A and B are shown apart, each in its own frame.
Chain A
């Protein structure tokens, strides 16, 4: 693998499907991915076999509408960066456009992408969601993914000057679901984004957040959680592109691997372009392995084109919940499953506490609980 292809600065972005050959699995950005399971989602003839539901009437200053991809508010974020993202774009006929112009930072707009109930085989599908935070807007968008689906999804996020918003994507798919999500965000001057990716369900999820700090003084906090059990592959490939001066990025992704064939991948690319003077960036990935055989790949990567920065760092660590820890907790009367739950909750507590919405934090704690509870039930 040469420097040319490994460099994020030189990697292609395009809305044209033909610009991206079908991946073979040998390319740098595909080498961790079970590509065969995603092959069908690389084609442009995808259906729309996933229902998009909006919870309740939008709050003050918020609108949710179905629009064509030629709508002026669509396509403002960075272009697709891989074949799956380009296929999702090429195959989508309409987009769900969420426009935030409200002032309540706690107001939640929930959009659900709902797959089948398992009584039919889901068609390979595409969907496009656009979130546009207007100047100085506040608010939270919660994207929920449930049911059984095979989905290539594009999520574009534009955060205009002075806006400060949170986008939370929860992947709580039914067992067997296959999902590739390309999140592409562009932040203008002094914009702030808290971007949260939560992967709990499905057989395979691959989320590729691409966050472009375009305007001076923009700030992003990128948070990720995965709770991965046997038979699941949860992958996140994060790309933070520092373009504007004096931008700040903080990325914290944490994963817990429960079962012996659990598999997670985290790639964190941070690019500081030559004009991004005064950049301050830090990214970290922590994994907690609760079972022998589970595997977590973690690849942080910093690419720096200017020396005039405030700070740049990264950290990656994988820890084990081992037999001795389990023995210690059990020796105090705590049953094994509760001991695991205690350790997993402790592992995620601080990260979940950073989301800044009591409602979403409580829902996430409950979702992690539910995921751990699944293990207590005997397998059918």
Chain B
């Protein structure tokens, strides 16, 4: 059982105009097996929360705490956080020319588990995960994210989710830019990963359509750098019908 606990998190970013606060006191707890949908209008700080948790150097935590099973996540380097069990599926995955998908996946798995996976079992595992996400086998010889289509990038993020087996996974707008078929393939991958590993999932999204495929236990409405309202799956249905206007006018 793993618990990610975010308490009163304040985060700022340096801009040419000066330091700009983006998160203004986020409280959120994600446990193993739970799926939390974090919804909100553009610019509300959802992605900032995701990148801050992963440790991106652009963001400065000015107040609050984040713990993973009681350990201070904010004191860890980016790679230490990943090895502690945190995973971020990125909205804009980065190209790494020359490093093949196969080499990248194996290096990551080795770094995370502390030892290289046995070759035969690993090849089988990667092959099965790639098949399930509709990748050709040649895909593993391509450079990481280089020349990938939008859909390939997102499926590649979910391939990593399945193979790297995090305890807590943050999916940052994984649904954006996907067509209906790709959305279904990606959602199946997320559900499969959760069923296999019991990971806790924080699903960041602007739209409700992915929630037809990945059923959330909790829905949080994120407005102006904090959580404005919380509820069950029915809250997502209300947002679908009413939009975010209600929160924006009262915020």
Q: Which residues of chain A have a CB within 8 Å of any CB of chain B?
A: 319, 323-325, 327-336, 338, 342-343, 346-347, 349
Contact = CB atoms under 8 A, between A and B. Distances in A.
B83 interface: yes
Nearest to B78: A330
Contact of B111 (A319, A328, A332, A347): A332
B contact patch SS: mixed
A324 B94 contact: yes
A331 B170 CA distance: 12
B98 A328 contact: no
Interface residues of B, number: 31
B107 interface: yes
A352 to B, nearest CB: 12
A338 B98 contact: no
Given A331-B88, A332-B108, A333-B112, A325 B82 contact: no
B96 A332 contact: no
A328 B77 CA distance: 13
B227 interface: no
B54 A343 contact: no
A333 B90 contact: no
Nearest to B89: A331
Nearest to A326: B78
A331 B88 CA distance: 7
12 contacts: A319-B97, A325-B96, A329-B104, A331-B55, A331-B78, A331-B81, A332-B160, A333-B79, A333-B111, A333-B164, A338-B111, A343-B99
B118 interface: no
A contact patch SS: helix
Contact of A346 (B57, B103, B108): B103
Given A328-B90, A330-B79, A331-B88, A346 B98 contact: yes
Contacts of A328: 90, 93-94, 96, 144
B140 interface: no
B215 interface: no
Contact of A343 (B78, B83, B96, B164): B96
B122 to A, nearest CB: 16
Contact of A333 (B96, B108, B144): B108
B47 interface: no
Given A333-B108, A336-B79, A338-B111, A327 B96 contact: no
A325 B145 CA distance: 11
Contact of A347 (B87, B94, B98, B164): B98
Central interface residue in B54, B77, B107, by most chain A CB within 10 Å: B107
B2 to A, nearest CB: 16
B100 interface: yes
B56 interface: yes
B18 to A, nearest CB: 21
A333 to B, nearest CB: 4
Contacts of B90: 328, 331
Contacts of A349: 98
A330 B82 CA distance: 8
Contacts of A333: 79, 82-83, 108, 111-112, 164
B161 to A, nearest CB: 11
B107 A342 contact: yes
Contact of B77 (A325, A329, A330): A330
A325 B55 CA distance: 14
Contacts of B108: 329, 332-334
B51 to A, nearest CB: 9
B164 A331 contact: no
Contacts of A343: 96, 98-99
Contacts of B97: 319, 346-347
Given A324-B94, A332-B111, A334-B107, 17 more contacts: A319-B97, A323-B57, A328-B144, A329-B104, A330-B55, A330-B78, A330-B82, A331-B82, A331-B87, A332-B160, A332-B164, A333-B82, A333-B83, A334-B111, A338-B107, A342-B99, A346-B100
Nearest to B114: A333
Instruction: Give the 6 A-B CB pairs with smallest separation, nearest first.
Output: A346-B98, A330-B78, A333-B82, A332-B108, A328-B94, A333-B112
Central interface residue in A323, A330, A331, A347, by most chain B CB within 10 Å: A331
B147 to A, nearest CB: 15
